[in-house]
Amino acid sequence: MLLRSGIVFSPLQSPSPSHSLRLTKSHTHPHKIISAQSQIPPSYTISDGALQSQGFVLHRTTSTLNLDHLNSVFVSVGFPRRDPDKIRVALEHTDSLVWVENVKTQRPVAFARSTGDGVFNAIIWDVVVDPTFQGIGLGKAVMERLLEDLLQKGITNIALYSEPRVLGFYRPMGFVVDPDGITGMVYSRKQNKNRKKF
């Protein structure tokens, strides 16, 4: 699973265990936003215990994360191979992360992280699931926990990028085209190439 194009999560009320969220989605081509009203689930779709019984362990730190193995997961979903030193720097600037380890191989099989200002805004990056392990709920497991971490910190404006081909992952969670017609925009180097410098 590779997620690109923007989705913004913005609670309608003050954070509480069962508060409503406003979710908006924007694509790069074309720019659209989808939104949904949903409740934060009181429990995870897959519990930590159920994951462990299937041979997986959840982690929220990088202390045992092998960056070469993580890079392999990135490559397996279509990211270009990344410089491990740059991955390390990115992780040092990460506010929250969740990853799933296959106990048998001791390798990461699912990963998601977020960066932000620590108060109002966060953006979720690098949501990936090794193709061998897709379809068993690991993507939802990391996303639910990452969102919970952010919401517990009081962060209410959460964005992520996703490719249109994985929108089916979000539709069961109640995503619809934004009724307000909000359109997302992204900075384009191509468009800015011939413009005056700031």
Neighbours of 183 (CB within 10 A): 12
Q: What token pair was written down for 96? A: 């929250």
Sequence-distant (≥ 6) Cβ neighbours of residue 174 within 8 angstroms: 23, 36, 37, 38
Q: Which of 44, 161, 170, 187 is catalytic?
A: 170
Cα end-to-end span (Å), the chain: 37
What's the DSSP call for residue 2?
B
Indicate if 170 belongs to the active site.
Answer: yes
Catalytic residues: 170
